[in-house]
Amino acid sequence: MGRSFPVVAAAAALLVPVVFVGGTATAARARVPVSAPAGQCASEDAYAPGGGTDLGGTPKRFTYAGTPYAGARFDGCANTLRVYYGGYSSPHYSYYEVRYTYPSQLGWYSWQLRMGEYRVATVDAPARGDWNFKVRACAGAIDEAGPKSCTGWSPQLFLHAV
């Protein structure tokens, strides 16, 4: 676990526990009461209202030419929200920036996460309501001052977690 990344600060603002497992931001598995009826569980997948290329998958992942892909799913049974991102393994890029908005908060927040082809960030017990996500790959150090060399943003995703 050794290093602290901005996702930890974002998690603190969201009041959700996030840890790193194998270079991926993730949260402790939510516990669902055994008595919870299966009929009350629902999953919602994000979609790209502004378009983009649908790469398929579960959940669907969306991209523009030259950008990482992004997808997201809220799982009501596990009470988790997972953001799927990736598509880059070039040594030119050193981290992904995941931007997001979440219910009852104004403005965009960011996570800077490790590179890789297939990544998943999990938020345990997410706030219910409207979320937005977008992802890009960047070169340089996460804490480096000044302009960064980054890809364009993936399509912006919308997810209503209920």
Give 13-26 pLDDT, tens digit per residue. Answer: 443 434 333 444 44
pTM value?
0.73
Identify the weakest region by mean pLDDT among 12-16, 87-91, 146-150.
Answer: 12-16
Report the C-alpha gap between 113 and 27 in whole angstroms: 14
Q: Report the pLDDT value the prediction gives residue 140, as an integer from 0 to 100.
A: 79
According to the per-residue pLDDT averaged within each range, which of 17-21, 28-32, 85-89, 131-135 is highest?
A: 131-135
Burial class (CB in 10 A: 0-12, 13-18, 19+), 35: exposed
